Amino acid sequence: MLLHVPGVFSRDEVKRIRQALEQADWLDGKLTAGYQSAKAKHNLQLAEDDPLAREISAAMLERLWQHPLFMSAALPNKVFPPLFNCYTAGGHFGYHVDNAVRQVRNSAERVRTDLSSTLFFSDPDEYDGGELVIQDTYGSQRVKLPAGDLVLYPSTSIHKVEPVTRGARIASFFWTQSLVREDAQRALLFDMDQAIQSLTRDVPEHPALVQLTGNYHNLLRRWVEV
């Protein structure tokens, strides 16, 4: 399941974050890549322990934990702390699959990468190229979202970032270990939850809501991993 999650940050918030990121100390992105990924990766990245990166990532996760669409789709258990990258002057990242497990820096904690996310801090008209191309059972998708919006997709997908030929593409990316490992199961639960939310708004007293909600939680109980 590929999902567009709009409005994680407002336009004013994005502007302030961008101004801070433009003054940041960017490093070669290969420093945080695995052996195979490093061959295809050509971008800039903030250090994982950069104070600015930590500040923005904390605000991001606070917002996402309050975002009903993200929570419904991801069913997050653990999140690898968000990272930040910049593509410019032909920077790109060739086709690759994200590592199955990520080790949190200076920690014993490990995160299984069930879901990948990219949150854009540059608007599409600010740069040429830079599309996130994702290939999976739903075909090939080219993603280039407004600043402040996020795309969520299975980490099993082969994906790449096209070369940026004008301007700069600044974004954050991170991985989520879901309470439900399988994408097909998460997709079914997401569809059910969206239906429950719609019925709750439109016909809040309908007796079928109790049964449908019970079915949702019984499926979640069957599939959840904690």
- Tally of helices (H runs) and strands (E runs) in the chain: 6, 16
Distances (CA, A) of 28 to 10, 25, 106, 143, 164: 29, 10, 20, 24, 16
Is 96 annotated to bind a ligand? Reply is: yes
Q: Pick the closest to residue 83 from 44, 113, 115 (CA basis).
A: 44
Is 98 annotated to bind a ligand? Reply is: yes
Residue with tokens 């990316």, as numbered in its chain: 173
Let me know: does 39 contact 93? Beta carbons within 8 Å: no
Q: How many CB atoms lie within 10 A of CB 182?
A: 12
Structure tokens at 44: 């800039």
List binding-site positions.
Answer: 96, 98, 159, 169
List binding-site positions for Fe cation.
Answer: 96, 98, 159
List binding-site positions for 2-oxoglutarate.
Answer: 169
